[in-house]
Structure 1
Amino acid sequence: MSGLKQTLRYTLSNGVLMRRGLVKTQTTAPPPQPPATVKLSTFAQSGDSFLQALGRLSSDTVVDLEGTVQTVNGFTQGRGSDGKSGYGIYNNKVIGFYNGTVSMVPGSSTDAATINALVTGDTNNFSLMRLGRGGSQATTPYFSGTLASTNQGSNYNGLILYYATNATVENSTILGFQGSSGFPPGETFPLNNYHSVNTLIRWVTVDGQGIGASGLGNNYCTSPLVQDSTFKNMGYGAGVTHYLTTDPTYERCTFSGNHLYGANFEKVSGTITLRNCTFSNNRYPMCVDTDGTSAVVNVYDPIWDGMNSGVPFKILRHNTYAFPAGNPSPPNKQNVSDFHIFQNGVEVTSSVLQVVTN
């Protein structure tokens, strides 16, 4: 967008770029507000590895990493009986982490051959970190820090929130995490919200650095809320993606430089809400498909490439859709009439929306 046209849409207030109507496009992150934490130095003993130190915990704990960088070797924790799942970090007494960086020692995984042998229909269940016990032992995870991927000779995921309730991820940076496709098993997630309820994600940057598949996966979730976050540079998939999730909401988020879509919604029910979000340099801003009940899609005051020069806001809706794939796939059941675009409180769907089909 040209500088002249941009100034017509924005105004400066106390040095902060804001929309007309004084709605900020993204708010400045305040200091994180973790629950009670316990400093790593208070329970780690001399000679302990990071995992050995965590193993000393006897009660639910959010661990304050005290600004340190901690590493683990391979996916040794929470191993599945079939050898096709595991985590670098999983301890049922660790509720979360605060104020530090976690990564895996480069080349320390012994599971590359297993992961690289996954085929269509499989899911990559290897992650650097799992928070959440799952099932009847549901926990309320918390994370505020940095996760950085390293080369393990295979794809893998970053942080998985596993069957969590009221989890919070805030003031965090998540970098890389190799993927190879926009669908399983090559689709991996730097941040994976899985079977969780009321997750809050805010002031988070997920940067796929060109190697990530899809930045945030909301899969089998209820009412995730994402605020003031950026999802960018996904080399294979979308900035954020959803599967069998209900009522997701995004506020003041940015989706940029992603190979496929800014935001992808599959089999999502209820209402999809995006407020004051920016879409830049994605193949399409959004994709919405379902073989079930059509979702209501409300997009409020979006910013997108070329909007001030007549370029429409594009939503991809495939003519046919099923996942797992049908043969042939049935007609897509997402209703175009359920797409709504608003600007400054007025619905402008008919003048700015272009539904793209294939």
Structure 2
Amino acid sequence: MPDAEPTALQPAALAGSIRTWAAELGFSACGIAGTELAQDEARLIRWLQAGHQGEMGFMGRHGRKRARPRQLVPGTRTVVVVRMDYTPDRAADPRAVLEARQRAFITRYSLGRDYHKLMRRRLQRLAERIQSTIGPFGYRAFVDSAPVLERALAREAGLGWIGKNTMLLNRHAGSYFFLGELFTDLPLPTDDPVRAHCGSCRRCLRACPTNAFTGPYQLDARRCISYLTIEHPGSIPEPLRPAMGNRIFGCDDCQLVCPWNRYTHPTAEDDFQPRHGLDDADLVALFNWDEATFLERTAGSAIRRIGHERWLRNLAVALGNTAPTPEVVEALGQRLNHPSALVREHVRWALARHGTPRGTD
């Protein structure tokens, strides 16, 4: 990263302008962080040593660089952190969907288009706006695209505190938002971290269907439904399957019960609104999608990354947890000879749950 050219604005004035430009680009909030994350690095190392990352090998692949912005992008002095709210105001009530076991629950952040490209483009435009004012400077924009402790940086940027459910919480916006970062070589004044406001509340810890929290601020990803349905590539442990209910992509339970989410702001982005009725879809209908339909309906969505095989795996578990109607049993039976051993295993489990075990490998 090259050294920044002298700026036409004083650092404090430039920081204020950056916040204004970020708001004009549709970001919900913007703050500036330093690069010191020593305590977060220590927590990361303990988490990795405990094996709580499961099969997410990428979490440890970059070593301590994840907590050291200056090593990730040499020359980094400050990090501009942005927030973008994603709660869709035209989606079905998530609690109602969870209670209707024949429906499919999909985490609210993935109901619309994938946020990565949208936010990355906006961050690039923010960098270009800065550059048009001060001249060339060194920067890198990230949206889940590099080993970055984004919640720790957001906390340092004053955008919230890390709650007991390990999510970033904001007193005025809850936790339903995305984060993005602009690593810069600019000597900007940094914001003050926000004091935590969880108090004695433990609602998120108690709400987890699979007991993935080993304690406040401690998540064992191997038991987390978001990990199991998205990141985990293999067979879902049988003891955890019944607790997954009808959650087929992600889980919002620890956010749904958080008192601070009463202050959540609906998104202003049309791209984050539900597509193809995925906010309240029928399990059997989704399970009947062939691969071509899956690819078509999830184009431009974060859901597509799990692929059709995991999609069917997750749906088979959900169908095993719903009422054993003839329609459900018939749909499962039609997948008993699926080419994937992973799919067949979960289909057989679901049928056994309904008292109709069939099929062998």
TM-score normalised according to structure 1 size: 0.28
Higher relative contact order (CA closer than 8 Å, sequence separation 6+)? 2
Name the larger-Rg structure: 2
Whichever structure has more strand as a proportion of its residues is 1
Whichever structure has more helix as a proportion of its residues is 2
